Amino acid sequence: MENLTAGQKLDRAVDKLGEQRSLTFELGLDTDAATLQALDAEAKPEDKMPDEAAELLSGARISVSVESKRPLQDSGDKDFSAMALKFSGPKGDLFEYRLIGDDAYIRVNVDSFTQLSGVPMPGADQLPAQAGALKKLFAGDWIKVSAADLRKTGEEMARGEDDGDGESAASGKPTASPSLGPQAQKKLMKDLRRVVVKEVEFKSAGGSDGTEHVTATAPFRTLLSELLDEIRPLTRQLPSGGGLPTDDDLKDAPNKKVTADFTLKNGALSDVSVDLAPLTEKAKGKELALVLHTVKGTRTTAPAGATEVRMDELMEGFFGGIMGGALDEGDYTDDES
């Protein structure tokens, strides 16, 4: 029987995930609202975390599902046939997005957002006629849009230095999205693994029913700084989005050791829990962890009864119905507005 180190077991467990063609995982915090609010107990009253925000963060869950025609580790953008993202809070689902082929489906729970934020939002029946297709979204109904149009709109809104036609404002030529080539990607992964092997201490503990725990412990600031040092030379090839933090930016970050607990079931990665309590003295003795659960991929299906709309209709509804004065600003404080 092959005798593997704890690090090798974890590597193989991650590889097993990559061999699958579908995967679903859920990410959330294992803590309570009181613990989160204790983190900034010494802050000024106006800077303290509101009750609604603490409740949202402590009960929030992000669920992601992906499906591919090929093993996930070998998949490119064109291989993914479906994906889904759902953001849930303690009051229920807040937002859900599904991508199936060329179509994207979106649903928003405006009532849940209102309860959590404490800021009143109009119901679908309160929106003016100019809101158009946006009424469906505010009513909590599923809407269906072209995935290509949705992506194009997002790119246009994010492209601050370009004009609305996807051309550089300076040259008038289409802008290219920077990306890393296959060789650069392989070198980056090799360099990052070298840092992890050097800085992280792995331990393994057996369990029952094919379950095993692998813990990885490392000083937080040291590990983060060295990982960023490996990525930094490649930033010119990466999509723009601001520079990476420097060592000077990280000097005040805690350098206490943080431990991640990986649960392996029959050699495959099942759960990950990262203990964040050592990063703050105020959470001492209380549970504060970032938790990720992985499960066998669930099939993403198109929701029944979705209303097909165009992106330009939604944008016209937003700027004409909401930004154009659908809400009576006199009913809100400056912060709420």
Hey, which residues does 224 pair with through a beta bridge?
A: none
- For residue 18, give both structure tokens: 């990559």
The rounded mean pLDDT for the chain is 80
The arithmetic mean of pLDDT across residues 226-233, rounded, is 84
Question: pLDDT tens for residues 27-63?
Answer: 999 998 888 888 877 788 888 888 888 888 888 899 9
Of residues 67 and 3, more confidently modeled: 67
Show the tokens assigned to 216.
Answer: 């990885």
Q: Tokens in use for 324?
A: 């154009």
Please name which of 144, 128, 171 lies closest in space to residue 304, comparing C-alpha atoms: 144
> What is the structure's pLDDT at 215?
94
Q: What is the pLDDT of residues 317-328, one digit of tens each?
A: 666 555 555 444
Determine the Cα–Cα distance for residues 292 and 286; give it in Å rounded to an integer: 19
Give residue-wise pLDDT tens across range 172-187: 444 444 556 667 777 8
Query: pTM of whole model > 0.95?
Result: no
Residue 26's pLDDT is 94
Question: Chain centroid to CA 66: how far?
Answer: 14
* Mean pLDDT value of segment 131-158: 83
236-269 tens-digit pLDDT:
555 544 567 888 888 888 899 999 999 999 888 9
Question: Phi/psi of residue 264, each to 5°?
Answer: -110, 130
pLDDT tens digits, one per residue of 93-126: 889 999 999 999 999 888 777 766 666 777 777 7
For residue 303, what pLDDT band results from cuts at 50, 70 and 90? very high
Residue 70 in this model has a pLDDT that exceeds 70: yes
Range scoring the smallest mean pLDDT among 271-275, 306-310, 328-332:
328-332
Is the pLDDT at 25 greater than 90? The verdict is yes
Return the pLDDT at 202.
93
Q: Is the pLDDT at 224 greater than 70, yes or no?
A: yes
DSSP one-letter code for 327:
S
Q: Which residues pair with 253 in a beta bridge?
A: none
